[in-house]
Amino acid sequence: MTTNLLDYDLQGLTAYCEQLGEKRFRATQLFRWIHHKGATDFEQMTDLARSLREKLVGTSRVQGPKVVSRHDSADGTIKWLFDVGAGDVIETVFIPEADRGTLCISSQAGCAMGCRFCSTGHQGFSRNLTTGEIISQLWFAEHFLRQHLGREERVISNVVMMGMGEPLQNYSQLLPALKVMLDDHGYGLSRRRVTVSTSGVVPMIDRLARDCPVALAVSLHAPEDVLRDNLVPLNKKYPIAELLQACTRYQAAAPRDFITFEYCMLDGVNDQPEHARQLVSLMQAHATHGLSCKFNLIPFNPFPASGLTRSEMPQVVAFAKILMEAGIVTTVRKTRGDDIDAACGQLAGDVQDRTGVDRRMAAQRQGMLRGIKVVVVNRSEV
How far CA 251 is from CA of 248, 366, 382, in Å, comes to: 5, 33, 15
Q: Which of 7, 22, 91, 166 binds ligand SF4 (CB under 6 A)?
A: 166
Of the residues 22, 91, 133, 381, which is catalytic? 91
Ranges within 356-375 binding ligand SAH (CB under 6 A): none
Question: Does residue 186 interact with ligand SF4 by CB under 6 A?
Answer: no
287, exposed or middle or buried, with CB in 10 Å at 0-12, 13-18, 19+? middle
Cβ neighbours of residue 95 closer than 8 Å, sequence gap 6 or more: 76, 77, 101, 102, 103, 104, 336, 337, 378, 379, 380
In angstroms, the CA 365 to CA 376 distance is 10
Task: Report yes or no: 261 and 253 within 8 Å, Cβ to Cβ.
Answer: no
264 is catalytic: no
* Between 60 and 335, CB nearer to ligand SAH: 335
162 contact, one of ligand SAH, ligand SF4, none, CB 5-8 Å limit per kind: ligand SAH
312 is catalytic: no
CA angle (101, 206, 380) in 5-degree steps: 15
Minimum distance from residue 272 beta carbon to ligand SF4 (Å): 21
Neighbours of 145 (CB within 10 A): 18
HSE-CB of 191 using CA atoms within 13 angstroms? 13
Using CB under 6 A, which of the segments 143-151, 195-203, 243-251, 321-329 binds ligand SAH? 195-203
Question: Does residue 121 interact with ligand SF4 by CB under 6 A?
Answer: yes
Ranges within 54-83 binding ligand SF4 (CB under 6 A): none
Q: Which of 197, 235, 251, 330 binds ligand SAH (CB under 6 A)?
A: 197
Task: Report yes or no: 191 and 182 within 8 Å, Cβ to Cβ.
Answer: yes
Q: Which of 29, 77, 102, 120 binds ligand SF4 (CB under 6 A)?
A: 120
Minimum distance from residue 171 beta carbon to ligand SF4 (Å): 14
Question: Does residue 107 interact with ligand SF4 by CB under 6 A?
Answer: no
215 contact, one of ligand SF4, ligand SAH, none, CB 5-8 Å limit per kind: none
Q: CA torsion sign, 155 to 132 to 195 to 162?
A: positive
Using CB under 6 A, which of the segments 36-44, 111-119, 141-149, 172-180 binds ligand SF4? 111-119
Question: Does residue 168 interact with ligand SF4 by CB under 6 A?
Answer: no
* Between 121 and 186, CB nearer to ligand SF4: 121
Q: Which residues bind ligand SF4 (CB under 6 A)?
A: 111, 113-115, 118, 120-121, 165-166, 199, 219
Positions marked catalytic: 91, 344
